[in-house]
Amino acid sequence: MLTAFAPATPSPTRVPAPPTREALGAAVWIDLQDPTPEEAALAAEATGLHIPTKAEVSEIETSSRLVLRDGVLYLSTPLISLADGPKIVPAGFVLSHDRLITVRFAPSVTFSAYIERAPTGDVPLDTAAATLIGLLGAIVDRQADALEHTHAELDAISHRVFSLGGRRRAGRKMEDRLLRATLAELGRIGDLISHIRESLIGIGRLIPFIDTHTAAWLPQDLRPKLTSLRDDTASLGDYDTHLNDKLQFLLDATLGYINIAQADVMKVMTIASVVGIPPVLVAGIYGMNFKNIPEYDWAYGYPYVWGLIVITTLIPLGLFWWRKWI
């Protein structure tokens, strides 16, 4: 899908679909989402710029993500898609003095919102550089919102996990289900935090590259925005690290409760086996079929053996209770 905006007063205008070569040549921002070969060829012909392919924007080397060619910046960075669970999708930016081309291969809430707001004049589209900086700022704001939401989720999980040790248990099966669900939720959040971190690192590399290689033509009023964007990215990176540490702590705590639950089961089985040894031994002795066992001739031999079984059962239980093992 191809979307383009041309500069106009008082606000940018969206180029009607299907766009012509002349209209694209005058556009300040061209957005390509999953472009067809025909759309990519039309944009390249109208602008004279190379349109990056998915393979090119998926490169992970810094030298491939940050390229200066004939005065044009070819940039790429990973973005987050939540369509089918948190995952990383590549995005490319082609920045020249008078035009910005964005290439992405998955839907993006941030881009969609930016496109919807563009005709109203709420977002800067007067120059290509202002458009790119505004887009990067919107992406960082979106990631900040995701981190805030993640922090709230981790707080809720923390309260749920640690409340297990301070209340009467509702049942082993219910507790097991809760711990399993918590592990799955922590895994999902861990993926999201990791992807946000990867995206922040990518944006953090773009900013100084843009600042350095646009010194000759970048408007001076945009440089403070670049500095602010760099500071926001760095602070979000630190916050992401904090959330990752908290996630690891909650993961360790959840696994600790699982280990405690397993230890409780083993303790019960061990106590049952130890308590059961003396009465089984008594029953085994008096279950032997020898004629010279004197207790067979006692009038109260049967109650005597039963009493002996009960006593040998209660003695280990009393010992465990006295040592506070149960």
Mean pLDDT per 10-residue section of the chain, whose length is 326 residues: 77 77 83 88 87 86 83 88 78 89 86 80 77 89 91 90 64 76 89 90 89 84 88 91 92 85 80 85 83 78 86 85 76
3-state secondary structure of 49: coil
Question: At which residue do the structure tokens 């109208």 appear?
Answer: 46
Q: Is the pTM of this model over 0.75?
A: yes
Q: CA-to-CA distance for 90 and 108, rounded, in angstroms?
A: 11
Q: Around Cβ 234, how many Cβ atoms within 10 Å?
A: 13
**Which of these CATH numbers, 1.10.3720.10, 3.30.530.20, 3.40.50.300, 1.20.58.340, describes 265-322?**
1.20.58.340
Domain ranges of the chain: 2-262, 265-322
pLDDT number for residue 148: 92
pLDDT number for residue 169: 53
> Do the Cβ atoms of 77 and 60 come closer than 8 Å?
no
CA 225 to each of CA 41, 64, 97, 128, 181: distance values in angstroms, whole numbers, following the listed order: 33, 25, 18, 14, 42
3-state secondary structure of 198: helix
> Do the Cβ atoms of 57 and 92 come closer than 8 Å?
yes
Q: Which two tokens stand for residue 180?
A: 């399993």
